Structure 1
């Protein structure tokens, strides 16, 4: 029986353990908080919870050596540290996080050790790679040429839980979501690289329709140009990847940015600790606050009122930055109730020219709601692909070795089929204009 070490006992570990336990693996769930590891392990046989600090090199090495494969669901800053331990012990490694430049430097050693180090096998990145590569290959095999690729993904409340003005809720710290709004976006348009400055990011939204009853908005991610080489689509005239939210989210957060609620200066936060958000945004609004809000859609005023920002009820906490204080406010207001479900949404949009000169439009869409009594949609779509990757490696289905991404047909064909069996399936639509 193969031994799998799972580092981290957060919400994405549950679906991974659930899947692998059905495959009769011996699993060890390690966490620096033993009660979290026990909570994941207690539902299953052949799952052992242990206390482990991954920063403790000796303790980490001892556990890595005892297992055949390691799954790292710890914070991404530790992945390279874990990878070094796996290289030393010649053990496979799977993560759902983005592949870093440092991780890529491990390729030759991983090849020499005959092991796989697989990154980016969750939802986004992960399922997005699998589903996009399948269509890219279909287009090539049909003798067509890709003209445009636009990919959207997001985690949002299910419609039944979409009950606040922002149309959003958090199941973990919102800081990464807010920090992403402070970066420029880079993408390919008309065959050339274009940059959207961060101050204009949320002003560049597109409507993304899934059905007559579900139309969302999307805004660009940080750097879509990286995927041109990765996907081998250098001939595409447009390449853009973005984030999906309910309509209105971008307008509200743009106003929050303009009111400097995402400020990261430590001196500013110290000055305003214990005072009201109303006093703060009044001091930051260009002109009077009333004039500022009059120039915005009513949904902005509604959202700020609901958050308690305009009526002196919301107080700024003692944090390092105003962004951190805003995170605290959002956590207090935008959390899921026990009976509420999240939802994962993804849509790829492909435009290609067929061999006969026709224009083909294709979309691949995923909508998956979570189970309030089971796993969230986000946990399932991150943990399940990683689990399938573990099984594929340990059963000899992956011939590639070294530091790899899930881009090959050898990986995406069986994995998409297995994901469909687990209820994670993209639906496709195709239309052709002569």
Structure 2
């Protein structure tokens, strides 16, 4: 077999090389889809394990244009009377009266969401939806309603601010978190952030407008809660990591998860690039040391064990520490290292077997050659003895013909040396 030290060095080099290649592919974005698959599944599984803790209530309306002025004012009064901490509309009611907006401004805890619309002069330029006439010149808090672009159709992220022209404006969720939450919880969150979803579609407590107007809402459902009011647009839902199969999440609930993430201060953090490289290198070296000490069958067990540890470790980190390890890259590196280890180890074993076979053949040939030489010497001694007895020769040299020629070469000399024969031939 190949020397243990030789294979040990090769396995370490292989582990480091695989880690560097996988890290490079990750930085180039070529493993993004693979990593996203693990992210979505692990986040979905762990979100269903945890008990959702939400201080939000969704109030679903059928259509914003059917939200009459009387209904809007009654909704504000009801929510205020039941002790709502804040009221967040993800739209601006366009048909409501001045009285409604004055009532909202007077409560000091109502926030409106303003959409971005293409500019009439240049459709490629977005501008903020203007206030309706009834709301102008009132001090109404607001934020931008914005959907962060998805990656391959899945919405995993949101952002704190949106750039409109030269201005950086807060999103609706950021404005609401600033008004109703602890700034210390999310002040370190800037730009895009990964949403810590509370669970699958329907997890956030919700109630329809008709039930509110019918008086079915009780104080325990509203007290100290932030009520997010928006359209019940299940047919326009978004796909998220916690959706299974053909499930979608309403945009209203998506906003609720983004807002809850800011309120809790728990955006999912991603391992920095240098740390990701260090983790890949550590896993590669540990795997190399383990593969070095086991047989191919044992290597399969080690590989399966390592994969389970990596996946479970990723699940624990994202589920309980809001931290994402590059599980996709780690699994890819471990799989590649295991496959290459099998190939290289098999090749080195084959080379070692070939070397052993050649060594054995050489030893056999050497033994047969020595035996043949011994037998040949005894035979010539017998011939010399018989010839000497016949012709009474005191000295004798035996020759053999060189194959394919007429030349002779000496084989054995008796009672003399080959040099004696040459000296006598000269004389």
Query: TM-score scaled to structure 2, two decimals?
Result: 0.22
Greater share of residues in helix: 2
Which structure would you say has the larger Rg? 2
TM-score, length-scaled by structure 1: 0.21
Higher strand share: 1
